[in-house]
Amino acid sequence: MSTFLSPARPGSALDPDPQETWEWLQAFDDVLQGDGPRRCADLMRKLIEHARSRRVTVNPVLNTPYCNTLSRESEPDYPGDLALEARITAMVRWNALVMVVRANQQGGELGGHLSSYASGADLFEVGFNHFFRGNLEPATERTADLVFFQPHSAPGIYARAFLEGRLTENHLANFRREVGGQGLSSYPHPWLMPEFWQFPTGSMGLGPLTAIYQARFMEYLQNRGLLNAGDRKVWAFVGDGEMDEPESIAGLTLASRENLQNLIVVVNCNLQRLDGPVRGNGSIVQELERLFAGAGWNVIKLLWGSDWDDLFARDTGNLILRRLHETVDGELQSYAAHDARFNRERFFSKYEELRQLISHLSDEQVDSLTRGGHDPVKIHAAFDAAVRHTGQPTVILAQTKKGYGLGRWAEGRMSAHQQKKLGSEALLSFRDRFGLPLSDKDVDDARFYRPPANSPEMLYLHECRRKLRGYVPMRSTKADKIKTPRRGVFAAFAWEAQTREMSTTVAFVKMLAGLLKDRQLAPCIVPIVADEARTFGMESLFRKVGIYSHCGQLYEPEDHDALLFYKESRDGQILQEGITEAGALSSWIAAGTSYSHHGLPVMPFYIYYSIFGFQRIGDLIWAAADSRARGFLLGATAGRTTLSGEGLQHQDGTSHLIASTISTCRAYDPCFSYELAVILEHGLQVMLENQEDVFYYLTLMNENYLHAAMPIGAEEGILRGMYLARPSTISGRAETQRVQLLGSGTILREALAAAELLEKDWCIGADVWSVTSFTELRRSGLEIERWNRFNSAQECKSTWIEQCLSSTTGPIIAASDYVRAVPDLIRAWIPRRYVTLGTDGFGRSDTRAALRRFFEVDSTSIALAAIGALADEGIVNKSVVSEFITRYDYQPSLASPWADRRPMPGVENCK
């Protein structure tokens, strides 16, 4: 099972001098007896240092034996009434069980899980009765701990809230029946249950990662003097199988590096995941111990219940440990699934002395030997030690049984995770095992149970929560509104036409610097980068607002004599996360939900390479939306052709498409700095003054160009998604020879150039529309479409697209630096022939001009598409198209850029 095993008696074949070994061990035992464990540890440390100074290699030992870290002697007295708590836990277990069973009696389509909560129930209940602090209501100042619950344990959390009177029987009866109201969401979900759940943990791995960054953000706010976090804790309950997700372990060293003593992770080690054992052929507990200890965490192993204490004490030969270290998890799972006879025969009878050791125990006693995660006394001791521990984050590795209490139908079974239905025999057996006061008929009817309000259980339960200041989980949204500056204050430069070229990234950084001068807003701003600040020209902020470091700056920076030196400080404002987009986004979530968790609204601006956003960490962005996070995401170096030389892995052609799938994400692709300023001003107002639970995604480019002046009255269109940026300059000509060109982001400039070309060389009039957001246009289009469907008796409403385009003439050509599916998002509301151009296919490295020609989104390709559309309408002669193709040297025999794939059989490739 593990490399660790300390045999009691030296003298194995591998020991060349048993006598000498024995003398050393004897000497150690003498010190232990005389001077205690601390002295022993000191001596060991000195010995190892000595060995290393003599160049003797001693590999770090990161494992301890397979037993509890805390000794019986170190356990504090249990502060509660164990018998009452056991009865309360039994009731919660029952209601959780019945909730899932009833949901599945309706046909089995709703699903639900019994076994995860069954394994974690005792861990949660000790937390609820003695540790998890809540907020007093009404809460202005938050005092609550932040508790991340294992997602599949949701039924148990609902069942407790039912006992507490926070949920009704009707709620429980509607578990997983959310449509129509009164239902409970399958997993923790702040969007669906905004007054209850705080953290969406349903996607494995995101809970552990975001918990770490929540703990870190609390320290950040405290160090910046914005929050008095006191000794509030972040508790994260995660599955042992879940620890396989890369995100679960991505933040471990950050937590220890920053001494996050406010963080406690409890891994529910039931040794099983969905399909089978987590480490059938090894030991997940020992593996996680090495991992966390190596990452610098305080590790507490909570493996065995109090009834094992006596066995370990009598086991002077360490035979139990020896046997445990021979046992892999797959076998431990079998012991969980089988009865005392099996365990006695298979586990204890391997060595005669071991068999003897338990010979005084009856089968019932062997059967009831508990794992640490089911013993409230042991759990309390571990939680208490974790809460008191200073200087490090703590992980508690709690060994439990999956499906605990569900008997032979699920306990320790391979199929435990998928078990959703239990027959009446199983329910009766559960009632008897946990001594529930239910008649056979109650059991048969699968009735929920809540004792009378004045029962000792209910009085006790409420008293425990009163002492802990309120109920958990509970989500609050009370926070002050923040007055936000008008755009003239932070972006005065953006209104007039510019005389110097600039990228939208630089324009944004200038605006951010302007916002950081606003007295009221400035402290609330949280700039976040993942090691790309210099790429985006943000180094000027280093000196101005400083980079956050929990320990200040312990070195003189190489550039200390420069004006914009690399300044780290405890009250630094910038979160410089290093190369971890997942970590940076987790910080962004923590900041974006601060209004709820701390009653302190702040405004995060996370700027990153846009390709490494929705594509790389899209699931975290979903979690942000689920969390009702507010803030700005700035996808910089965006688009497929603006980044030119960087090539495929850096060129983003899809982020706007993915952004359109997240309903709280307002995505914009601005071209000119005035557009950016209007959107920023509005976004700040929406999120900080109106307190709407939305976030903004803005794409920024690094392409330098001259920025135009804002056309009068363009604001509304900028925000709605399109406005007329340039009316045709040809007037009085035949209105038929006219096209409407739609461009977005940097490709708007190509559309403007195409209009010039069409008008100058081909006598075709062109109006140019800046589409700041295809996604917002689509969203409002869908709304209006639905409204019209349901209100057919009334006059039809028209979409913004129709309002813009219906009085115009000519085919409509839209070009984008993203895949064509982005401009295609609005096809349904386009009143006439619509041709879309985009950057489908693989990207590649070249100059911007070459790339735009390659993807056919440059000005000539837009003009070609316009002429082609006019030809298709019969307005211009087809020969004009051929003439254009020849004049601009297009080679129609080349395959289309998106045909990097083989043609489908029978379909001729585009030629």
Ligand X SMILES: Cc1ncc(C[n+]2csc(CCOP(=O)(O)OP(=O)(O)O)c2C)c(N)n1
Residues that bind ligand X (CB under 6 A): 116, 119, 150, 152, 202-205, 239-242, 268, 270, 272-274, 278, 402, 417
Residue 198 to residue 603: CA distance in whole angstroms: 19
What Cα–Cα distance (Å) separates residue 423 from each residue in 18, 93, 160?
59, 16, 23
In angstroms, give the least distance from the CB of 522 to ligand X: 38
Asked whether the beta carbons of 244 and 278 are under 8 A apart, the reply is yes
* Token couple for 79: 């502060």
In the numeric block, the tokens 């589409």 are attached to 771
Nearer to ligand X, 201 or 702 (CB): 201
In angstroms, give the least distance from the CB of 247 to ligand X: 9
In angstroms, give the least distance from the CB of 272 to ligand X: 5
Q: How far is CA 277 from the centre of its chain?
A: 25
Maximum distance among all Cα pairs of the chain, rounded to whole angstroms: 110
Nearer to ligand X, 121 or 751 (CB): 121
Nearer to ligand X, 202 or 537 (CB): 202
In this structure, the strands spanning 722-726 and 547-548 are unpaired
In angstroms, give the least distance from the CB of 151 to ligand X: 6
Nearer to ligand X, 205 or 473 (CB): 205
What Cα–Cα distance (Å) separates residue 671 from each residue in 393, 515, 710, 748?
45, 20, 11, 7
Is 233 exposed, middle or buried, given 0-12, 13-18 or 19+ CB atoms closer than 10 A?
buried
* Token couple for 315: 């086991």
In angstroms, give the least distance from the CB of 187 to ligand X: 8
What residues have CB less than 8 Å from 8, skipping those under 6 apart?
Answer: 316, 317, 318
What residues have CB less than 8 Å from 716, skipping those under 6 apart?
Answer: 723
Nearer to ligand X, 69 or 270 (CB): 270
DSSP state of 685: I
Is 423 exposed, middle or buried, given 0-12, 13-18 or 19+ CB atoms closer than 10 A?
exposed
In the numeric block, the tokens 């056991």 are attached to 86
- Evaluate the CA torsion angle 636, 641, 644, 649 in order and state its sign: positive
Nearer to ligand X, 417 or 778 (CB): 417
Nearer to ligand X, 89 or 116 (CB): 116
Going by C-alpha positions, the residue among 774, 848, 854 that lies closest to residue 816 is 774
CB atoms within 10 A of CB 612: 22
In angstroms, give the least distance from the CB of 279 to ligand X: 11
In angstroms, give the least distance from the CB of 188 to ligand X: 12
Is 440 exposed, middle or buried, given 0-12, 13-18 or 19+ CB atoms closer than 10 A?
exposed
Nearer to ligand X, 379 or 525 (CB): 379
SS3 state of residue 554:
coil
Nearer to ligand X, 270 or 504 (CB): 270
In angstroms, give the least distance from the CB of 172 to ligand X: 21
In angstroms, give the least distance from the CB of 591 to ligand X: 24
Nearer to ligand X, 197 or 672 (CB): 197
Residue 297 to residue 33: CA distance in whole angstroms: 29
Q: Give me the residue whose beta carbon is nearest to ligand X.
A: 239
In angstroms, give the least distance from the CB of 206 to ligand X: 8
Nearer to ligand X, 116 or 860 (CB): 116
Nearer to ligand X, 15 or 178 (CB): 178
In angstroms, give the least distance from the CB of 205 to ligand X: 6
Rounded to 10 deg, the angle between the 82-105 and 115-130 helix axes is 140
In angstroms, give the least distance from the CB of 433 to ligand X: 20
The b-or-e profile of 81-95 (16+ CB within 10 A means b, else e) is: eeebbebbbbbbbbb
- Evaluate the CA torsion angle 499, 500, 503, 507 in order and state its sign: negative
Q: In degrees to the nearest 10, what's the CA dihedral of 582, 583, 584, 586? A: 90
Going by C-alpha positions, the residue among 548, 547, 482 that lies closest to residue 515 is 482
Nearer to ligand X, 5 or 110 (CB): 110
Asked whether the beta carbons of 669 and 653 are under 8 A apart, the reply is no
Nearer to ligand X, 206 or 340 (CB): 206
DSSP state of 775: H
Residue 156 to residue 149: CA distance in whole angstroms: 10
In angstroms, give the least distance from the CB of 401 to ligand X: 10
In the numeric block, the tokens 């001003």 are attached to 681
Residue 817 to residue 610: CA distance in whole angstroms: 13
Nearer to ligand X, 252 or 865 (CB): 252
In angstroms, give the least distance from the CB of 681 to ligand X: 38
Going by C-alpha positions, the residue among 457, 476, 514 that lies closest to residue 596 is 476
What Cα–Cα distance (Å) separates residue 847 from each residue in 136, 355, 818?
60, 77, 17
In angstroms, give the least distance from the CB of 540 to ligand X: 39
In angstroms, give the least distance from the CB of 333 to ligand X: 11
Residue 28 to residue 36: CA distance in whole angstroms: 10
Nearer to ligand X, 241 or 683 (CB): 241
In angstroms, give the least distance from the CB of 410 to ligand X: 12
In angstroms, give the least distance from the CB of 278 to ligand X: 6
CB atoms within 10 A of CB 660: 20
* Token couple for 631: 């803030």
